[in-house]
Amino acid sequence: MDEQESKPAAAGEERSQQPQTAKFCVEVVAGLIPGKDPDPEFTRRWWISSEEWEAAGEKGGELLAETNGRALGYAGLLMLQPGRLNWVRTDWILF
């Protein structure tokens, strides 16, 4: 079990597993050849559960912005690898 799975992720942090009650997800995928499947090595997801969203209350927008910022920061780092990757895509999913 890796460190990420050994402790619960804080709201809006990257996690490999979907929470049971997902509210929002940002997924970043990348690959070498446009139109082909993304390389799983570079796929990352940031989740906000319904419970985390409700707990944030009026600060839900801030939680959404912070989560989105983390994902976009990762996407930006991937764009700095033109020898390995030719495309990066970010998807926002609301449940």
Please determine, for residue 45, whether its predicted confidence score (pLDDT) is greater than 70: yes
User: What is the SS3 assignment for 31-50?
Assistant: ECCCCCCCCHHHCEEEEEEH
Q: Which residue has the tokens 């990757």?
A: 85
Spans of all domains in the chain = 3-15+26-94
Please determine, for residue 39, whether its predicted confidence score (pLDDT) is greater than 80: yes
Model pLDDT, residue 5: 38
- Tens digit of pLDDT for each residue in 1-19? 333 433 446 766 777 678 8
Model pLDDT, residue 9: 63
Q: Give the residue, 35 or 10, on which the prediction is more confident.
A: 35
For the chain, the first-to-last Cα distance in angstroms comes to 28
In the predicted model, what is the mean pLDDT of the chain? 87
Q: Give the residue, 18 or 76, on which the prediction is more confident.
A: 76
Question: What contacts 27, CB < 8 A, 6 or more positions away?
Answer: 43, 44, 45, 71, 90, 91, 93
Model pLDDT, residue 85: 93
- Tens digit of pLDDT for each residue in 50-68? 999 999 999 999 999 999 9
